[in-house]
A and B are shown apart, each in its own frame.
Chain A
Amino acid sequence: MIDWNAHLAALQVIVPMFTVPLVVLLRPSGLAWAAAMTASIGAFAVSIALTLGVLDGQVYGYSLGSWPAPYGIELRVDAFSAIVLLMVTGTSSLALLAARATLDAEIESHRQPLFYSAWLLVLTGLTGILVSADAFNFFVFMEIAALASYVLVAGGKDRRALPAAFTYLVMGTIGATFYLVGVGLIYMMTGTLNLADMESRIHVVADQTPIMVAAGFITVGLALKAAVFPLHAWLPNTYTYAPHAVTVFLAACSTKVVLYLLLRFDFFVFQANIVSHDIQFSWFFLPLAVLALLIGSGIALFEKNLKRMLAYSSVAQVGYILIGAGLVNVAGLTASVLTMFNHALAKGALFLAVACLAMRCTGLTHSDIKGAARDMPWTMAAFVVAGLSLIGMPGTAGFVSKWYLLSAVLEQGLLGISLAIIIVLSSLMSVIYIWRVVEAAYFHAPIPGTATRGEAPPLLLAATWTAVLANVYFGLNSALPVALSSAAAKTLLGHVP
């Protein structure tokens, strides 16, 4: 009898990975979708099981092939991994539901099985990063996820997706290669790739210069992949021109998982071992985060295309996450992890609502969706609730993370007050850009010729409302994400008083 609980960490990756070759072979496309959906829900179930275990105080360690760490490859799932796993597998399942409804308009039926297999590869890569405890495994899984997501982005009908995917590929590869250089330098000095082993060996190294250089390479490389301002150039076009379901998946997950890796490296590995690392981290990321908030939200104000507007809003959201992390204390990191989770909920729901609009409208600019609320009341209601969550209205998930972020920031005296002002300013800007969509959809008459509408397909609407209800649920009952985030923050800052 196999003890499934002991193998959960490995199953998390194996379930989607081993479904990929099956999905490639399945015809017709409906069957391929069903297999992909099953694998995604299976992965979701595994991450729920992992989360329940983590909440009981269990840490899942797993030695692949029974080779003990640090010689063998280790998998490790703690609270930080669990909350991001939950988010990734959950979003993947919802976005796959949406893909079933939207994909026929975007990709020919005979290519759809390939699309779904690439999707599962992205899921494999992202979950792989989250369960690994080995610096080189991170790189491999990161590239699996990245290569498959370039395919997903370029897969649609819109030809503008091609240059977007090319830029994404070039910048993603540069980011990953920088990371690889950093890992190489650390390996040279410490002789290990296992994260925990690395953490304990770095401070023994006599010459700290290569470690500093490695920290720089890893931080900048991952910041490029996480679209930290001003390294976000690949993001807006990628999100705008990718197939709608892909945008939902990538916007909610891909940058977050890289941020997970960034925080894990900078806090778990470097924080206790590099002299005045916290000051360097704060002074590098806080100014960038502030600029991301102001410029990301500022551009979103003037953007007419809905998907591009939300993409710039994502640039700003990375700023919120980094402000929390830049405080380098438990309260700040809790807020940071919580923002990751809640932003994925809000942005996922918003992009799902946009996918609904895209099914029935001729375009996605403000003038294309004029009067849409008359024909699509459910879609627009979903957009409004998810928008409120993005803004941070009480009763939605977004409020909880903004609350934690503001209270963490306000502990910091004068610097904290100015940061709080910037956070509030950016939130006000998000009120304006969400309102502009609401105004167009509710208070304008439809332009003749664009108004061939009805409500979005039931399947897509169901996915959208599930996401919206999750926003409301976690807004009213935030015990689960808060417990996981504060446990995550404590693990990350285990060495700091």
Chain B
Amino acid sequence: MDVSQYLDIFLEESMEHLQTLNSGVLNMENNPERLDIIDEIFRAAHTLKGMSATMGYNAIAKLTHSMENLLDKIRSGKILPNPEITNSLFKCVDVLEEMVNSIREGGAPDADIEGLMKTLVALENGENPTEGQAETLKSEEIIKNEVHINEYDINIFKEAEQRDLNIWKISIHISPECLMKGVRAFMVFRNLEEIGEIVKAVPEVQDIEDEKFDDHFILFLVSKYNEKEIYEALNISEVAAEEIERVSSESVKVDIECTNEEIGLPKNIQKAEIEEDNTKNKENNKILSNKKSKIHQTVRVDIGRLDSLMNLVGELVINKTRLEQISISSDMDGLNETIEHLDRVTTDIQSVVQNIRMVSVEQVFNRFPRMVRDLSKELGKDIDLILEGKETELDRTVIDEIGDPLVHLIRNAIDHGLESPEDRKISGKNTTGILKLIAKHDGNQVTICVEDDGRGLNVDVIKEKALKKKLVTLAEIEEMDEQEIVNMIFLSGFSTAKEVTDISGRGVGLDVVKNKIASLNGQVSVVTKQGQGSQFIIKLPLTLAIIQALLVKVQEETFAIPLANIDETTNLERGKIKNIQNQQVMILRDKVLPLIFIRDILDVPGTKETGEIYVVVVEKGERKFGLVVEELIGQQEIVISSFGKLLSGLSGIAGATILGDGSISLILDIGALL
């Protein structure tokens, strides 16, 4: 079978399952008693196993199979989860991720899994030294946990034995991808009834036919046929006989006695606890099933198709603007009305398409608990990670890009921000550091905060460092206020860590973060209080494709300035421009505002002089500048088109947009321009 056409789906789904595994194991570590979590991990491993086996990636299937065995032991309570187990499971997930990634890159999943598998088997046999024994224990486990055999059943078994018939206990597994499990189960029954008699089914036959079972069910078959023939009878697609085992009325009976004996007094107490857990689990299941129904309502769409839809909407918006301009100049009755309607429809379509492209930040946030756990172990710091606003939505493109900067900020916060437990104790703080990751909507923007309650940034250290690295002069620093000094950490070549560690501080830190955010039309800023922690605030636009901008004219050229950057606009007579140290400035409400002539910095040709000029006040970080232009055209919704690869990386120009009259206007990138 050619499976290459399913490769994309396989990759995407396996990443999802790996994510589930990661967060599941993390959850398990924190709540080892919650069986539903282990079930979840088990299901993810199991599905992954099935998928990879179908695709022919046997290494993945093998490893997940070993994981499954281990998890099964935990699930049945044979082994208690311990740090060693969680660590190995994490390692497995890492290796699996590696393998999936190498498949994505067109290679083969050839990671070394032998050692890992041995560890898993060893852990699995932590209490049961030999594998064979483990197997039998496992099957008994199933009888104890899931199969309740009563006197009536035993009588039937005995009767069968007297007639020299075999009793087979058959575990049936139906592939989770199977759509009509009931039908498959019915086929199993039909085929088995031909060769024997089903005397008992767990769950009940009726429930099985109504699909009220997971992927497994167990049947007891009384038959004169042997194992091989039963296997043949079960040769149904999407159905696998996992285990066929001959049992006798005696062995079953012994099991029951065993179970009764085991449930002594201490067990009863445990039972009460388990019941409590069960209520919890039920609640969780409720949440889980809610989630499931939500998943069913989604459709996977290729991002490329959405992009082309977005492009079409973009063209629609351009043409709408163009029509509006025509209507203003031609003044026709009826046209206005139509255009207003068109305007409404376009705006609606635009917001719908934008919404389709929205993905919740959960996707990005989900990888952090694991990362924080690993780092906290590595550095010996206790950290409580709090995630807020996971449901906040952002454009898919932004989501894809925002991961790395956040990783960087979180690593920084853990490595430099949060103190060691001892230090925290000395400064009178709780030994567990708090790291908050908060996403929230803020008007037309989304704010993501990385907040720690660590030692905060040390202004003196920053000063010293900036001087040493010759990023500023002593005179300059004396004029700066505290916030301006703190902002220097975003300059390239700045790293406050005293030593280079593996986790952060390679000197490429925050300027990379800043550039990345800037390339997404966002801003990053920092608020810090020494001894109390710091807060990095990232502000991002909801979408990258269509923004509000102010169109301005400089000589004969038109430029667009993103509204997000603009504080205000004002007019100015040429005579009021003042000179301070070769820098032209103006006084705006008693404050000195440095002026920047777009005409000069962008070498705009032309010599037209107007008496009155306009100043667009923009913010860069915490500082304000006045951009001098000759004419303000107005505010407009613009569709950002990139120049393509060829002209990427032009500093000061974020892209271009096509105006209503078909001409092109360049979008200024304020962050890079000044």
Q: Do A and B bind each other?
A: no
Measured CB to CB, the residues of A under 8 A from B are none
